[in-house]
Amino acid sequence: MYIAGGGAVTAAGLNRRQTLAAIRAGFSAYEEYLLAEPMGESQIVSRIPTHWSLRATDWDWLVNMAARAIMDAVASRTADPRTTVLILVLPEQFRNHAAFEEVHPSGFLNAVMLASGGPFHAASRAIDGGAAASIAVLDQLSEMLTHPGVERVLLGGVDSLVNDKDINRLAEAGRLKGSDNAQGLVPGEAAAFVCLQSRPDPKSPGLAAIHGAGFAQEADSVLTERYSQGKALLSALQGALNGTGNGPREPDIVFVVSNGNGERYSGWEANIARSRFYRTRREILPIAYPAMTVGEVGAAGGALALLVAADSFTAGYAPGPVAMCEVASEAGLRAAALVSQVRSS
């Protein structure tokens, strides 16, 4: 399966090209955000600059972000949307996101397709599971691409943690970055999508091959009272490698793209899992963290990691031809995808 372009909107850029350029440059799209409670307090966030009318409600804002990223993904293509399956990852259900307090999430996919100028293929659907869900469904999507009438899959997510409900929840758990917590997360918001095809398209931006994907559920997530031993992430990494067939192996992996958000918990978990998975001696294992630019973007983090990996190959800043994308969801889903550069014939 191949990544053949994509789209995004983040605090660092209003389209894929701007966002990826900002991440390449190490730009930080952080700013202070005034909280409603307690009055006068502020929090560092990564917030998309936009006209107030697009944020009339939290529902409207998520729809607008998703639609903009989808239109960015299809802008340079002449493909018929009716042959494109849209897979949309929503904010994890346990959060009871502010966007879905008054409108049920079951209607969200149709709202996004309408705003994006659909219709898309009838197999299109919205799924739960957070950032890692974008990687966990890759095997299913590979099989879907063999169905008659399906030419491509547009896979991604939309989310915003820049709302009082999520910020208060994270603050109560002591998980926010601040003067009293250097190892905390920065709430962000984004929509990101990758275009997947069964055959490579040399004319497409962000071309890369996906060789395998794995996923597992972590029992000791950040929402529990126990620290993770990295078992689920290790299982996901092994699953991604086991599905490669004659593709790259562990010694071939040169760098990692992670949706790690700066929390102490996620850093410990990833370090434990990597020490057990990467058995070949390396002088250094470079790791790209998009959250250093755009903050924690929730359900959009999986597709964004794939976009960064693909962009690093086509833009020439990857330290090598093979990468592992590691993605974790807040509720415990862990996923990994082995991605490589596509060499011209």
244 pLDDT higher than 70: no
- First-to-last alpha carbon distance for the chain, in angstroms, is 17
The domain 2-197 is placed in CATH, from the list 3.50.50.60, 4.10.320.10, 3.30.70.260, 3.40.47.10, at 3.40.47.10
Give the whole-number percent of the chain exceeding pLDDT 70: 97
- Radius of gyration (Cα) for the chain, nearest Å? 19
CA pair distance 101, 215, nearest whole angstrom = 30
Q: What is the mean pLDDT of residues 237-253?
A: 89
What are the structure tokens assigned to 180, written together? 């009293």
Q: Which residue, among 216, 219, 162, 157, has the nearest Cα to 185 in the 3D structure?
A: 162
Average per-residue pLDDT for the chain:
93
CATH 3.30.930.10 describes domain 211-340:
no
pTM for this predicted structure = 0.95
Question: Using alpha carbons only, what angle is made at residue 22 by residues 84 and 308, rounded to the nearest 5 degrees?
Answer: 45
Strands 2-10, 287-288: parallel, antiparallel or unpaired by DSSP? Answer: unpaired
Where are the domain boundaries for CATH 3.40.47.10 in the chain?
2-197, 211-340
Find tokens 């470079």 and name the residue.
286
76 pLDDT higher than 70: no
pLDDT band at 102 (very low <50, low <70, confident <90, very high): confident
From the number of C-beta atoms within 10 Å of its C-beta (0-12, 13-18, 19+), residue 330 rates as: buried
135 pLDDT higher than 60: yes
Which are the contacts of 42, defined by CB distance < 8 A and separation ≥ 6?
32, 33, 34, 35
245 pLDDT higher than 80: no
144-160 residue pLDDT tens: 999 999 999 999 999 99
